[in-house]
A and B are shown apart, each in its own frame.
Chain A
Amino acid sequence: MRILLEAKQATFSRAGEAVFRPVDLGLSGGEALVVRGANGSGKTTLLRLLAGILRPASGEVTRHAPVAFLGHHAAVKGDLSCRENLEFKRRFSASASGLSDSRALARVGLAGLGLRPARSLSAGQKRRLGLACLLVAPTAVWLLDEPYASLDDEGCALVDELLSEHVGRDGAAVLSTHQRQPRIGDGRHRTLHIEGRERLE
């Protein structure tokens, strides 16, 4: 299987100090990696590093396929409707192969809310809209930062389902979580525990 995403001894430093110990990983299609670690251990930083938003302070990160990143904020504009947000996402990624807006919205349980401004959605619904963005513009690698946060049980199950489908289609995913044990497909996922480097002294 082709490697889609790899990191070699990659780390990031903030104010001159490494945020976590150097990470090595390689991810091919059909694989999911769950990043675990305590609060403040650098899970978000690692995902942003893998996404290319941050540049490694040392080591390297190589992306062999397009990636999508879903962070704490769903990256949607509150003043645009759900549909307009999805439309933007599709145009921005120049993707023609994704689900249509209404299908994507139905898939994430937001059927019928297409014309509502994203501002009026609840936190959980915003996360669902973020997931819909992944569906309208498909990419090989998903990087999901705390995808279960602020979702109800049904929503968490939805994340598991979407991840299973994505991995089943030979996609790759990295997700961080600190509570829920993800149930992806037949349990084909690996876990990476990261440790924040204790500050000196």
Chain B
Amino acid sequence: MIFHRLKVGFHRLGSPPTFHKLCRILSPWLWAGFVACTAIGLYQALYVVPPDYQQGDSFRILYIHVPAAWQAMAGYVIMAILAAIALVWRIRTVEIMTMAAAPVGAAFTALCLATGSLWGKPMWGTWWAWDARLTSMLVLLFIYLGIMGLYAAFEDRRKGARVACILVLVGLVNIPLIHFSVEWWTTLHQGSTINLFGESKMHPSMLPPLIWMAIAVKLMFGGALLDRSRNDLVDQDRRKRWIRDVIGEEA
């Protein structure tokens, strides 16, 4: 019974007007949550947490770098789950959501790489090091770009989305392999390994802002995902009647 209701609810989500409405209702809340959490997180990160005895203030970039890195990976997992749903049940709105997730994930990956590089300069004296984590992130960025490029290369966007969904799942198998092989590779080439966080443990006082920022970033991912999906849906369906009804309702 419950399962049946879930199923019905699930299929109603697949209907573009319902999905559109849901996105429109949810997205402002997510964005508001993001602003609130970021405000708390940044305040704590910049004013409450004391400077590091070794790195001074430069370590504070961690509060963007680490949540971005987490979200780059979590975003891929979310995208892969959506892709699996899209391929198995052939739900168009989920296909659109999967494709909307890719640029957001790519942006977080790029942010992680950029902040890592900025952090690397004072820390290691170079903008780039072939560190296992950074290298995996770079490959992840290319996986994201490949998915976006593939989707964009098709004229029939529905077909492009479905083909790109296959690539998303392929990447899901591939990413752990890349991660493992790159770890292996850096341990082999001992000379160039630099441990970003060192052996030092994080002081407990440094933790709360990190958690706030991680939550903020997740909310932002959700908000951006829903907004992008809604825009893509409206763009694809712009000649359909339901859009006219919705726009008419808003106007």
| Direct chain A–B contact by Cβ atoms under 8 Å | yes
Binding site for A on B (CB under 8 A): 92, 156-159, 239-241
Q: Is A112 an interface residue (CB 8 A)?
A: no
In this assembly, does A187 line the interface, its C-beta being within 8 Å of a C-beta of chain B?
Answer: no
Known A15-B157, A16-B158; contact A200-B92, beta-carbon cutoff 8 A: no
CB within 8 Å of B: which of A144-201?
199-201
Interface of B is mostly: helix
Cβ–Cβ contact A200 & B240, under 8 A: yes
Q: What's the A-B contact tally at a CB cutoff of 8 Å? A: 15
Closest B residue to A13 by beta carbon equals B158
What residues make up the interface of A, taking CB atoms closer than 8 Å to B?
Answer: 14-16, 199-201
Chain A contacts of B158 at CB under 8 A? 14-16
**Complex: A201 Cα to B240 Cα, angstroms:** 7
Complex: A47 Cα to B88 Cα, angstroms? 26
| B241 x A200 contact (CB < 8 A) | yes
Identify 8 new A-B residue pairs, CB closer than 8 A, beyond the known A200-B240, A201-B241.
Answer: A14-B156, A14-B158, A15-B156, A15-B157, A15-B158, A16-B158, A199-B239, A200-B241
Tell me the minimal C-beta distance from A113 to chain B in angstroms. Answer: 38
Q: Which residues of chain B come closer than 8 Å to A199, judged between CB atoms?
A: 239
Q: Cβ of A15: which chain B residues have Cβ within 8 Å of it?
A: 156-159
Q: Is the beta-carbon distance between B92 and A16 smaller than 8 angstroms?
A: yes
Residue of A nearest to B158 (CB): A15
Per the bound structure, the CA–CA distance linking A14 and B241 in Å amounts to: 18
Complex Cα–Cα for A177 and B44 (A): 74
Chain A: minimal CB distance from B172 (Å): 25
Chain B residues positioned under 8 Å from A14 (CB to CB): 156, 158
Distance from B155 Cβ to chain A, minimum over Cβ atoms (Å)? 9
What are 15 A-B residue pairs whose CB atoms fall within 8 Å in the complex? A14-B156, A14-B158, A15-B156, A15-B157, A15-B158, A15-B159, A16-B92, A16-B158, A199-B239, A200-B239, A200-B240, A200-B241, A201-B239, A201-B240, A201-B241
- A200 proximity list for chain B (CB < 8 A): 239-241
Minimum distance in angstroms from B151 CB to a CB of chain A: 14
> What separation, in Å, do the CA atoms of A14 and B157 have in the docked complex?
10
B157 nearest in chain A by CB position: A15
Q: Give the CA-CA distance A14 to B158 in the complex, in Å.
A: 8
Chain A residues, CB < 8 A from B157: 15
Distance between Cα atoms of A201 and B156 in the complex (Å): 19
